[in-house]
Amino acid sequence: MPVATPKQFEAMLDSAQEGGYAFPAINCSSITTINAALKAFADAKSDGIIQFSTGAGQFASGLNFNDATKGTIILAEATHRLAEQYDVLVALNTDHCQPEKAASFLKPLIEATEARRAKGENNLFQNHMLDASILPLEENMAISREYLEMCAKNEIVLEVEAGVVGGEEDGAAGTEDMPDDMLYTTPEDMLAVYEALHELGRFTFAATFGNVHGHYKPGAVKLRPEILKQGQAAVIEKYGADAEFDLVFHGGSGSSLDEIRETLNYGVVKMNVDTDTQYAFTRPIAEHMFQNYDGVLKVDGEIGNKKSYDPRAYLKKGEQAMCNRIMEACEDLLSTGKSIGGQV
């Protein structure tokens, strides 16, 4: 089955909201990591989301070019081709894009989808994220409205954020000295987001509740999932049940299972997973290097072992380990076995 159509992606979001589960959104930066995600979703019989950051696009474009847009298009086109082999739905998203990068990154990607649609083809992307959370909320919503209008014309869902996810993840806006109050989205913020955007098109919302990019020792991150519950309640009380947000959980790596599952009760339909899958990919590669030291290196003038230093020998180990970790994420988010691929 190819990448989800816009209507299929909206059906995915509706199914998750109604069914109390969420999709793992996996950051990928190469064909190897894309294949790991696709295999995991297929093996878990879960639909899912593959996403690319500006940094991933730069990496994929090659050392001579550092072109985030071109690299991201290449990764997305490859995913469309590779996804045809599987019978689950996968949607494509771009991760954090700050306002200063939007004109040179998001606009060309939206235009690439527009060009495909003009030829009767599926959207290149089903979802884009504009992360203007570092701006005051009024300015954030002004630029979010601009990009939501662009996306809606092409049946693209826009992901927005209010409140700042702490830590650092591939250029995402969060600093070590971020004031605590910016790490927690208030019910008033959530009302303001709904009122600014709901009439323009479909969007998802990354509200913050103490979540931090990266991986930390137990106790270092103070999550308050009840903030999501309070914000949803405020919006629903004022505007009715149809106003319930499709929420996104950023900075999910390292969270406890109880915290993850609690957020599902409050409308989270997507959780980003990056740090954990990066480590899962790298760990067996490091083991391979240590265990095959004299094979991957030509020590003391020896010839090494081609089977050990062939990149495929260790990359396939990383691919499988990353696949395993994504399947764990599907279990955590209760999406295992719930693909709607054959139904829409």
Domain CATH code at residue 297: 3.20.20.70
User: Does any domain span residue 1?
Assistant: no
Query: Is 49:297 a contact under the CB 8 Å cutoff?
Result: no
Q: Output the tens digit of pLDDT for each of the chain's 344 residues.
A: 689 999 999 999 999 999 999 999 999 999 999 999 999 999 999 999 999 999 999 999 999 999 999 999 999 999 999 999 999 999 999 999 999 999 999 999 999 999 999 999 999 999 999 999 989 999 999 999 999 999 999 999 999 999 765 444 555 544 455 556 567 899 999 999 999 999 999 999 999 988 664 444 444 457 889 999 999 999 999 999 999 999 999 977 668 899 999 999 999 999 999 999 999 999 999 999 999 999 999 999 999 999 999 999 999 999 999 999 999 999 999 999 999 997 87
User: Does any domain span residue 343?
Assistant: no
CA 58 to chain CA centroid, Å, is 17
User: Does any domain span residue 341?
Assistant: no
| Total domains in the fold of the chain | 1
User: Does any domain span residue 338?
Assistant: no
- Which among 63, 56, 48 is positioned nearest to 9, based on CA atoms? 48
Domain that holds residue 193: 6-332
Whole-model pTM: value is 0.93
Task: Give me the active site residues, please.
Answer: 95
User: Does any domain span residue 25?
Assistant: yes
Query: Is 122:5 a contact under the CB 8 Å cutoff?
Result: yes
H-helix or E-strand spanning residue 93: strand 90-94
Query: Is 2:84 a contact under the CB 8 Å cutoff?
Result: yes
Backbone angles phi, psi at 217, to 5 degrees: -70, 155
Q: What is the pLDDT of residue 186?
A: 93
SS3 assignment, position 239:
helix
User: Does any domain span residue 26?
Assistant: yes
Q: What is the pLDDT of residue 342?
A: 78
Query: Is 52:84 a contact under the CB 8 Å cutoff?
Result: no
